[in-house]
Structure 1
Amino acid sequence: MANSLHDTYLTGLKNAHALEAQAIQLLSRQLERIENYPDHAMMIRTHLAESEAQQKRLEAILERHGTSHSMLKDFMTSLSGNLAALAHAPMQDEILKNTFANYAFEHFEIAAYRSLIALAEEAGDSQAIPLLRESLAEEEKTAEMIGAVIEKTTLEYARREAAGQTAGI
């Protein structure tokens, strides 16, 4: 049972590392394109740095367990992050699509970190718990920030669109 739980925990850590790889690519692509929404650019820039730090925390935890992240998982999720960002690019309302997707993605990451904390507790990895909680708090803060600007972003987009200005991103 202990090996099975430990293996599940390590898989969860590797999955979370890959999830952060996806977030980094997604945020990087969005940041490259954003022009008319400086508040969003600042949020993305801040969370990109947090995601990079979260990935490093996960690497440290994995190293302590004598393993490392999965290059294949990281590659595949990075690719999907790039594709997700590209999927919204041709859309007139790209800023809205990105906002909705980012809000959903943050909640997915919140669930992943809550799951990892439960596994770390059950596996007795008390050293990892503060690091995982730090990442969870960052994800919760970002989700809250995105949630707080959904209406404002929607109206700003609609006003820019109605005025004939570049509105999408």
Structure 2
Amino acid sequence: VENQALSLIDRQLDRLRNYDEVAEQLRRHRGETEQQIGRLEQILGSLDESHSALKDAALSFTGNLAALGHAVAGDEILKNTFANFAFENFEAASYRSLITIAEAGAFSSAVPLLQNSLDEELAMAAWLEQRVPAITTKYLTLSSQGEKADR
């Protein structure tokens, strides 16, 4: 899922033009996402497991497709914001589930690492939720001035 997140973020950063605050936040969260991947690899390594390269590639591909799907929309920034908010909550739910599994399976050393990632996902979701009105207002303002407002 984190590789899918990187693909989504990268495609959006490639296209963002008028929303500097969003681009800055996406860049910050991209760094967090890379750290989350590192934490997951650390946990898997401690369990003598590894990630699935095939699953990673497939999810990265679907992340690219999702971002490209919004690229043709006249309100790309809005659709991306909504999708990002939904995806952050999906990731948060995934981390909550992993924490429950770690606690049930007596893998307590994984819990702090997973909790750190959960906290980051919840913070990003909250940031997006708080910014929906401002992003929408900026979109409307740019559109009403005849400027390219979609990204």
TM-score interval (norm. to shorter): over 0.9
The residue type equivalent to 1:132 in the other structure is: L
Aligned to 2:70: 88
Q: TM-score, normalised by structure 1?
A: 0.88
The residue type equivalent to 1:21 in the other structure is: N
Aligned to 2:98: 116
| Correspondence 1:165 to 2:123 | no
From 79, 94, 101, give the equivalent of 1:97: 79
**How big is the shift at 1:83?**
0.4
**1:26-65 superposed matches below 5 A:** 26-65=8-47
Gaps of 5+ in 1: 1-18
May I ask how many residue pairs the two structures share in their alignment? 151
From 148, 156, 164, give the equivalent of 2:130: 148
**How big is the shift at 1:90?**
1.1
**1:130-145 superposed matches below 5 A:** 130-145=112-127
Q: Deviation per CA, 1:95-145: give whole Å up to 9, x if none.
A: 000000000000000100000000000010111000000000000000000
Gaps of 5+ in 2: none
Identity of matched residues, %: 48
Moved over 2 A (4+): none
Q: TM-score, normalised by structure 2?
A: 0.99
Equivalents in 1 of 2:4, 2:68: separation in Å?
13
